[in-house]
Amino acid sequence: MTVSKIPERIGRLEELANNLWWSWHPEGRALFRRLDYSLWRSSGHNPVQQLYEISLEKLQAAAGDNDFLSLYDNAVDVFDKEMTDSNSWYSKKYPDNPQSSIAYFSMEFALHNSLPIYAGGLGVLAGDLCKEGSDLGVPMVAVGFMYPQGYFRQRISADGWQEEEYSQLDFSKAPLTAITSKDGKQCLAEVQLRDRKLHIGAWLVPLGRVDLYLLDTDIEENRPEDRELSSRLYIADREHRLQQEILLGIGGVRVLRALDIEPAIWHANEGHTAFMMLERVREQVASGKAFNEALDVVKKSSVFTTHTPVPAGHDTFSIELVKRYFADYWPSLGTDMETLLNLGRQDAGEDSFNMTILALKTSEHRNAVSKLHGKVTRKMWCNLWLDCSEDDIPITFITNGIHAPTWIALENRQLYSKYLGKDWVEQQDDVELWKNVDDIPDEEIWRVHLVLKRKLFHIIMERAQQRWAEGEATPQQILAMGSLLDHDALTIGFVRRFAEYKRPDLLFKDTERLKKIINDRWRPVQIIFAGKSHPADTASKKLLQYVHTIARDREFQGRIAFLEDYDMRLARYLVQGVDVWLNTPRRLQEASGTSGMKAVLNGVLHLSVPDGWWTEAYNGNNGWNIGDESPFPSKEEEDKADAEALYSILEQQVAPLYYNRDRIGVPREWYAMVKRSLQSIIPVFNTRRMFKEYYEIMYLPAIQGMTVTEQRDRIDPQS
């Protein structure tokens, strides 16, 4: 689409479409929904594609439609006010730090389904954090990858096996702008990959006030194989992965320098990005500092967040592979190769190089993502600080949160505005504000929830019909996709990345008992599963196949469904439309988790094993705990105990509470618990609170050059 195609009166439509600000502001969504509703739906709510495909006649009609012009003027006014706001939280709280910008590096970012450059929770957290940074007015840039083939599209075969499909992103229909150098070239920076130079380009994705730069190697200066280097997310091949992480860490720093962006703070989201610390050490050495002095400077301005409580989940590479790729690089660090290698090893002489250890050793400000994860992380890495007791290991915690404007249903946003005040989003981290939830009539919350539940089931049916119309799906596949689900039945969602430790099969430990629960004549229960297995994780793909087989079993009467190709759009419908959100990881293996927070925001109750964020949130009357925090001697005993506890909770608590209705059909006791859930969880587990803690606990001390001890003495997290 060319700019000249858009009438002058609505000439800023393209600007609005290309800034993902619209995706979490109702003014933006309303504008594009009204422009052409059929294109809005068929594009998957993608205004860039919508403008690409819209007819000139439709645009001219919109330019003469007073109702549309009113929406347009309002959206532009709100957008301009926010983009130029000098009265933001940051400008009021830290007026003396206007230029102290943050560079946030992450392997993936979940922003909107029009940009499929994410795989799971790590990307969702990164996207939510950047959006909150914009809302708070914090000077910030982000760096990631432009994966033109993204993560895979998921198809489930007739026998329940996950099949991966990759498709090329149409750049003309995505919210991207190509960045060029001062002399107009695609190449912004270079890195050495063994015997060749890798040329790096970048794309800009505006997120409100935050600019996200996505690195790209598909430029003409590169070899054919190097042009494919950044094509897909999380390639299993170790050498390919190392090349990607060199590109992201070292190349990302060089791209920012080429764009004259000079951050004060460098934040590494997980160990994938840790080579950015090495590149900044190299810069310091080039300026005349000795290696140890350079490393000290870099550590003071580096923040590292770890998300993985399982040792096997941390990226490692063989020493030989690292030696091959850093043979020409290490001399520029002003030290020897062994010193470089030891930065990624727990003990000298180990035969693997660990990216998490590299990040821990090259950053001064480190955090886990929940209180419990903090304890697990300090225990995991205590050997790196032999002179500290476990409690004194310098790794703090900042519990994850969710970006409320992204995940809340419009209907709930309007309901909260009515009873909590129109500015509730700005005050969402105020505990006192949420006491006003008691003023919302139960029947109003119930009515809104039923609307959202029906929307979910409409989408489920629409997807099943589409698969049937394609002519390839069997009747059993359509059954498994939820075509027989009942929107009046108690609906539980198990929606997350499919992995063995998340135990998606826990519900099926006693299938006969589960059948009785699900097929209860008066209190039926249905369960919706969704999620992707990593392409190389055969064990989790077998679990997915097992769940799909159960969903095809007639004896469950169509009350178990597996929804294929889980993405951000489907996630929104699910967290807004189910009744209960289920989470069953093995204890101490869930770092935090955030999907349940999104569900709670929309009036959905949480049912979980005590792990991750739920150990901080659960208070006895705001959801349900499956068992307790006691350790088990074996996985088998843990599974047996948790399955028994889960069945009992469903039979004796969840189903009776949901189906206990008054004479007008409202489950009053259910909504008493929903209100306790909203009051105790939402003001705490949101990115507004989270980002403020990052700034006060991590960024500000780094800006001020404080040590870890001074930082810990200054602020007690979530005190």
Residues 205-233 have pLDDT tens digits of: 999 999 999 999 999 999 999 999 988 88
Q: Is 663 helix (H, G, I), strand (E, B) or coil?
A: coil
Q: Same structural domain for residues 284 and 409?
A: no
Q: pLDDT grade, residue 349 (50/70/90)? A: confident
Measure Cα distances from 560 to 484, 517, 518 in Å: 9, 12, 9
Q: Per residue in 156-204, pLDDT tens?
A: 999 999 999 998 889 899 999 999 988 889 999 999 999 899 999 999 9
Q: Same structural domain for residues 192 and 334?
A: yes
Judge whether 690 lies within some domain: no
Number of domains in the chain: 3
Measure Cα distances from 57 to 16, 172, 477, 638 in Å: 20, 21, 41, 63
Helices (H), 205-333: 224-227, 238-246, 252-258, 275-286, 291-300, 319-326
Which residue did the predictor score with more confidence, 534 or 72?
72
Q: Same structural domain for residues 392 and 409?
A: no
Q: pLDDT grade, residue 709 (50/70/90)? A: low
Which tokens belong to 169?
């992103």
Asked whether residue 2 carries a pLDDT value surpassing 80, the answer given is no
Q: Same structural domain for residues 96 and 70?
A: no
- Output the pLDDT for position 710: 59
Answer yes or no: are the C-beta atoms of 247 and 230 closer than 8 Å.
yes
Judge whether 713 lies within some domain: no
Mean pLDDT of 530-557: 95
Question: What secondary structure does DSSP assign to 417-438, as a single string?
Answer: HHHH-TTTTTTTT-TTGGGGGG
Query: How far, in whole angstroms, is CA 663 from its chain's centroid?
Result: 42
Q: Which residues pair with 103 in a beta bridge?
A: 141, 266
- Output the pLDDT for position 98: 73
- Output the pLDDT for position 639: 97
Judge whether 295 lies within some domain: yes
Helices (H), 5-46: 13-17, 26-35, 37-42
Q: Same structural domain for residues 69 and 218?
A: no
Q: Same structural domain for residues 286 and 167?
A: yes
Judge whether 699 lies within some domain: no
Q: Is 672 helix (H, G, I), strand (E, B) or coil?
A: helix
- Output the pLDDT for position 719: 39
Q: Same structural domain for residues 111 and 77?
A: no
Q: Same structural domain for residues 607 and 556?
A: yes
Residues 6 or more apart from 192 whose CB is under 8 A from it?
Answer: 198, 328, 329
Give Rg (Cα) of the chain: 25
Judge whether 461 lies within some domain: yes
- Other Cβ atoms closer than 10 A to 70: 12
- Output the pLDDT for position 1: 41
Asked whether residue 717 carries a pLDDT value surpassing 80, the answer given is no
Q: Per residue in 598-642, pLDDT tens?
A: 999 999 999 999 999 999 999 999 999 999 999 999 999 999 999
Judge whether 365 lies within some domain: yes
- Output the pLDDT for position 572: 97
Q: pLDDT grade, residue 718 (50/70/90)? A: very low
Percent of the chain with pLDDT over 70: 97
Asked whether residue 99 carries a pLDDT value surpassing 80, the answer given is no
Domain boundary among 38, 67, 83: 83
CATH of the domain at 513: 3.40.50.2000
Q: Same structural domain for residues 375 and 512?
A: no
Asked whether residue 237 carries a pLDDT value surpassing 80, the answer given is yes
Q: Same structural domain for residues 123 and 178?
A: yes
Name the amino acid, one letter, at 297. V
Q: Per residue in 58-76, pLDDT tens?
A: 999 999 999 999 999 999 9
Asked whether residue 515 carries a pLDDT value surpassing 50, the answer given is yes
Query: How far, in whole angstroms, is CA 244 from its chain's centroid?
Result: 20
Judge whether 700 lies within some domain: no
* Location of structure tokens 């989270």: 690
Question: What secondary structure does DSSP assign to 464-494, as a single string?
Answer: HHHHHHTT---HHHHHHTTTT--TTSEEEEE
Q: How far is the C-alpha of 123 from the C-alpha of 108, rounded, in Å?
A: 5
- Output the pLDDT for position 706: 67
Please state the φ and ψ torsions of residue 224, each to the nearest 5 degrees: -55, -45
Judge whether 196 lies within some domain: yes
Asked whether residue 585 carries a pLDDT value surpassing 80, the answer given is yes
Print the domain residue range for 381: 89-397
Q: Same structural domain for residues 467 and 335?
A: no
Which tokens belong to 246?
């060199």
Q: Same structural domain for residues 326 and 452?
A: no
- Output the pLDDT for position 235: 82
